Structure 1
Amino acid sequence: MGGPVTGDRPGDRRADAARNRAKILAAAEEIVATRGVEALAMADVAAAAGVGVGTLYRRFGDRSGLAHALIDRREREFQTTYLSGPPPLGPGAPAAERIRAFLRALARRTVDQLDLLLVAETTGPFARFGGAYHAYHRHLAILIADARPDRDPSFLADALLAPLAANLLAYRRDLTLDGVQAGLDDLLTGVLPE
């Protein structure tokens, strides 16, 4: 009888899934941009994207998974910058300068996407400690071990990341980005060599 009907081949299904993902993320971004994160309801996103709600739940799991997907593009750009971008954030600067640059950039990124991070990081007691946190922690621990081999780099990495928890920054809405960065600089005074 011939080959599979067009649209029923694995490659066609993957292309459809990729198109649906792009439509869903575009719809979700539009909702967040125009109405805020509070309006990010799965049914509304599905309707705006022209897909079924089941498709949304199968693809992203829940609202937190959708928030993570919205954060993902900027997360990848940020990781590329601190892993291979220009110094002092990227390689080529002394460890102490890279630590300071990294924390300042992470503070900026966290404040910029605070509402989405709040949704993504607070769905469970350990939701914050997923892939991005693990990458940040490892990066900081390596730099701290280089700058301060006499200290526990794992503990200090956690201590330096703690003030950037989305729920803490949301609770402390009175803090500006400059205030957060200045506070991190104060913490670094006790961590980094003089």
Structure 2
Amino acid sequence: MTVNGMTSPRRERADAARNRVKILTAAAEIVTTHGVEGLSMAEVAAAAGVGVGTLYRRFGDRSGLAYALIDEREREFQAAFIEGPPPLGPGVEAPARIRAFLHALTDRTVEQLDLLLMAETAAPLARFGGAYDGYHAHLSMLIAQARPGADAYVLADALLAPLAAPLLAHRLRGRGVTAERVKAGLDGLLAGFTT
């Protein structure tokens, strides 16, 4: 639909909205009960009472379903760093916001690590775009404020790299690294270019 030259998003049909809720509820229950490994499109469709084709048309594949499960928590996180209270939100100096953001992103990633791991490894570049671009733009802006003249674009990638789900899962589960140690390491990186 076009209004005043602007295209407005299509509204979701009521039956499609109900199916979406049923599908995501069923998928979340399966993940809670059986873990991400138990999340199959056929089982989710059966549990939701919809056809498998509906699931594939709506979400594409398991990684699309994982991103949909991640979406609500992601929206909350983005609202917190864009407009929430300081230090994560506006109202403090850039270095304090960067630190708060990195710590919150570490916690957010650990919270849904298995879903993020599945989503980020679905394709070679699956991690990038969407939320990553938002994180990158936010960090780039804050880095430019904290250290004018620095290559904020590349530094943002350097700060986000340790929080890739595959690396974080490997470090936390395979090497005994804790989330607190990851945060301390990020603080060390941050200190290197904000002091």
Q: TM-score, normalised by structure 1?
A: 0.92
Matched residue type, 1:190: G
Find the counterpart in structure 2 of residue 187 from structure 1.
Answer: 189
What's the offset of the Cα at 1:65?
0.1
What's the offset of the Cα at 1:123?
1.1
**Structure 1 segment 12-91 matched on structure 2, within 5 A:** 14-91=13-90
Q: 1:46-75 CA distances to partner (integer Å, 9 max, x unpaired)?
A: 000000000000000000000000000000
Q: TM-score, normalised by structure 2?
A: 0.91
Find the counterpart in structure 1 of residue 138 from structure 2.
Answer: 139
What's the offset of the Cα at 1:150?
2.4
Q: 1:141-186 CA distances to partner (integer Å, 9 max, x unpaired)?
A: 0000000012100000000000000010111122211111111111
Matched residue type, 2:182: V
Find the counterpart in structure 2 of residue 176 from structure 1.
Answer: 178
Percent identity over the alignment? 70
**Structure 1 residue ranges without an equivalent (≥5):** 1-9
Q: Who wins on radius of gyration, i.e. which is larger?
A: 1
Matched residue type, 2:148: P
SS at match of 2:127: helix
- Number of equivalences: 183
**Structure 2 residue ranges without an equivalent (≥5):** 1-9
Provide the alpha-carbon RMSD of the alignment.
1.3
State the distance in 2 between where 1:175 and 1:124 align. Answer: 26
Q: Does 1:167 find its partner at 2:169?
A: no
State the distance in 1 between where 2:112 and 2:130 align. Answer: 17
What's the offset of the Cα at 1:113?
0.6
Find the counterpart in structure 2 of residue 94 from structure 1.
Answer: 93
